[in-house]
Amino acid sequence: MNILFINSDTSIRSEFNEFAGEINANNFFSSSTEESIILLNEHQIDKVVLKIGKLADVSIMKYIDDYYKDIEVLVCAREDFDEVLTIFNQVHFKKIKNPVGLSDLMEHLVPKVEVKVQL
């Protein structure tokens, strides 16, 4: 699995890299819309973790909405961005609490495996 972290705090990149190692994923990091577009075009990205701090950060959602509808986006944003996010009805996204912790990411990024035991 390839995960693109957009607007990620650079101080927690090592934690995200450790997390990615635990789930056999590759991490890509971007701090701008332009850099994100390059990474989306160069790599087969499966999931995006987008931290929205200001309205300009939402612009990458438009790009994903237009060109990468199959990518799941996890949006970390304050409640005041909820109304803005409703315009993106084609993108498969989930909003998670901000600030985001590794346990929150684990819950949303790791596929759940159901094990049935027959006796």
**Structural domains in the chain, sorted by start:** 2-109 (3.40.50.2300)
The reported pLDDT for the residue numbered 28 is: 92
The reported pLDDT for the residue numbered 45 is: 94
Residues 79 and 54: their CA atoms lie apart, in Å, by: 12
The reported pLDDT for the residue numbered 11 is: 64
Residue ranges in the chain whose pLDDT is less than 50: 112-116
- What strands lie across the sheet with 92-96, from one edge to the other? 26-30, 2-6, 47-51, 72-76, 92-96
Find the helix or strand (DSSP H, E) in which 98 lies: none
